[in-house]
Structure 1
């Protein structure tokens, strides 16, 4: 494990950003392989409380995948393949790599609730809009989709942090 918190956060941020790009730009197979490798590196070099963090990542990934599935089913998002009955695996992988950031490179965002309430409803939809600009998903009705995503992130992000803090208090330190 890397002893410096700063270096752990930098590595976590880089892997999250590269993982996001892999999920959005590459084939589903390559995205899954890259995210799996990044998760392994995360648990070897970054994570201090491996089992607690693994539980949190699994729960958050499941919850986030269900949320994306809801957005796909309601038409807020559309899978570009048009064949998605469930949440595509690349989106599940994206949630997994995102969840690693909540106790590391994005931890600062949870410590200032007002700043979080200002940034999250913009940053969350921006990620989906960016993915749509790169062809990974579509936002069938742009403005209503972005507004729904903003409201969803405004509720979901703090809920994830509260879940982390409640269930796994050592992860919140």
Structure 2
């Protein structure tokens, strides 16, 4: 395990970026396989509480996957085929690698109670918009899609931080 907190956070940030770009540029099982390798590295060398963090990642993947599934079902997001039944696997991969950041490279966002409510409705939709610009997903009605994504992230992001704080307090240290 890497001892330096700064180095762990830096590597966590790099792993997240690599996973996000892999999933967005090459959406499919290969990208998810790459994310699984990144998660394995994260758990082996970054995480200080492996079991708790793995459970937290799992909870976030379920919550995020359901949220994205709702967005696809309601037309907020589209994969270009118009027939998504479930959340695309590459988005599930992004949720998994994103969840690692909440206890590491994005842990600073919990330092002020108001910060998640300001950052989430901007950063969350921006990530989806960025993915749409790279061709991974479509925003059928960009204004409505971004507004819905902002509201969703305004709810989900603080909920994930609350979940981490109260069910996995060892991840907040």
Q: TM-score per shorter chain, which class?
A: over 0.9
How many positions carry a matched residue from both structures? 173
- The residue correspondences of 1:1-173 to structure 2 (distance < 5 A) are 1-173=1-173
The secondary structure found in structure 2 opposite 1:104 is: coil
Instruction: Give the TM-score of the pair, scaled to structure 1.
Output: 0.97
Shift of 1:84: 1.8
Query: Where do 5+ consecutive residues of structure 1 fail to align?
Result: none
Shift of 1:79: 1.4
Distance across 2 between alignment mates of 1:168 and 1:115: 20
Distance across 2 between alignment mates of 1:2 and 1:158: 28
Distance across 2 between alignment mates of 1:164 and 1:115: 16
The root-mean-square deviation of aligned C-alpha atoms, in Å, is 0.9
The secondary structure found in structure 1 opposite 2:150 is: helix
Shift of 1:34: 1.0
Distance across 1 between alignment mates of 2:25 and 2:5: 30
Q: Contact (CA 8 Å) 1:65, 1:92: kept in 2 or not?
A: yes
Shift of 1:112: 1.6
Query: Where do 5+ consecutive residues of structure 2 fail to align?
Result: none
Shift of 1:27: 4.1
Q: Are the structure 2 counterparts of residues 25 and 6 from structure 1 closer, same or farther at C-alpha, using a change threshold of 3 Å? A: same
Distance across 1 between alignment mates of 2:127 and 2:22: 14
